[in-house]
Amino acid sequence: DQAKKDDAKAASSGGKQITMGFSQIGAESEWRTAHTESIKSAAKAAGINLQFSDAQQKQENQIKAIRSFIAQGVDIIAFVPIVETGWDTVLKEAKDAKIPVIVVDRDVKLSDESLYIAKIGTDSVAEGKKVFNWIDEYMKKENKQPRSGDKFNIVVLEGTVGSSVAIGRANGFKEAMAAAPDAAKYTILASQTGEFTRQKGQEVMESFLKSDRDKIDILFAHNDDMALGAIQAIEAAGLKPGKDITIISIDSVKGMFQAMIDGKANCTVECNPLQGDILMETAKKILNKEEVPKNVYVEEGIFPADVAAKTLPERKY
């Protein structure tokens, strides 16, 4: 069976088969599904025995999973911290059990940085900055005028409260706005979490439209899934998404490319979920007592609507 084949593969590479405990946060978005797929296929390709746990969006389930990995005596632990804080105790237990830890995708805030060996992920602050800078350029290029008053009114659908990516994207966006020469032309009318899901994104956008239907110029959604939900709410309110309201989000999943091809969205900033191979490579190096960088960032670009049709066929997620 697969375990025997993996053992054979590991043995042929001169080591006993590595067992990795992996705590994933859930399946809240197309991006997360692609991330999980990347982790699982990379483990198989690397001959690593993966103990995979889905936390259903609850930090306490992640802490339970990490404790069970420690009890099982896995060789290495990797996890996506759903929120930044609350990890010190359980990571100390892993360190005491001499099990190395890799942080994946999102960031942690710890009193002791030695509690993890490496972090593999993306630069949320840079993503947030790319969003504002693209908006500013687009408003000028299209000679857009505010729908009401003299400022462009922005509404924001935030990601999971307390997650490093929601905090980073919000901070990057605000830093870029504050630094822009014509910062005074923009104002954030409303900002609320849509929990990275399509359903909640649609609900929160409905509430934004209820109070400010004829004032909203721009929607910044922290991920594509919330933008796709918001598009449904905008259409239900009798407005044209991508035209009456400029829409930009982050992830660059296929669903967002299709929305841009349909003329219902304007741009997506890439956040790369294909982190499995680099994770397995890093795990092997750590267990071979090789030096690894503390932070590894994966590549990410930006895709405006005018490149969507030609880019979609080559997209992997």
**Should residue 122 be labelled a site residue for ligand GZL when binding is judged by CB under 6 A?**
yes
- Nearest distance from C-beta of residue 206 to ligand GZL, angstroms: 20
Specify the residue for token string 């746990």: 53
Residue 177 contacts residue 132 (beta carbons within 8 Å): yes
* Rounded-to-integer distance, Cα 284 and Cα 46, Å: 9
The pair phi, psi for residue 304, each rounded to 5°, is -75, 165
Member of 139, 165, 248, 292 binding ligand GZL (CB under 6 A): 165
> What gap in Å lies between CA 165 and CA 177, rounded to an integer?
18
Give the largest Cα separation in the chain, rounded.
69
The pattern of x and - marking residues 224 through 253 that bind ligand GZL according to CB under 6 A reads -x------------------------xx--
Q: Which stretch binds ligand GZL (CB under 6 A): 25-33, 130-138, 176-184, 259-267?
A: 25-33
- Quick one: DSSP state of residue 180? S
The closest of 262, 301, 305, 303 to 142, measured between CA atoms, is 305
Is residue 275 close enough to count as binding ligand GZL by CB under 6 A?
no
Of the residues 29, 38, 133, 275, which one makes contact with ligand GZL according to CB under 6 A: 29
- If the CB atoms of residues 168 and 241 are measured against ligand GZL, the closer one turns out to be 168
Per-residue string for binding with ligand GZL, 206-225, x by CB under 6 A? -----------------x-x
Asked if residue 270 binds ligand GZL (CB under 6 A), the reply is no
Applying CB under 6 A, the span of 14-22, 29-37, 107-115, 227-235 interacting with ligand GZL comes to: 29-37
DSSP assignment letter at 238: T
User: Hey, what's the torsion of the CAs at 55, 60, 66, 68, to 10 degrees?
Assistant: -90
Both tokens of 52, joined, read: 């995979």
What's the rounded Cα separation, in Å, for the pair 291 and 310?
A: 40
Binding mask 295-314 for ligand GZL (x = CB under 6 A): --------------------
Q: Name the site residues for ligand GZL (rule: CB under 6 A).
A: 28-29, 31-32, 105-106, 122, 165, 196, 223, 225, 250-251, 271
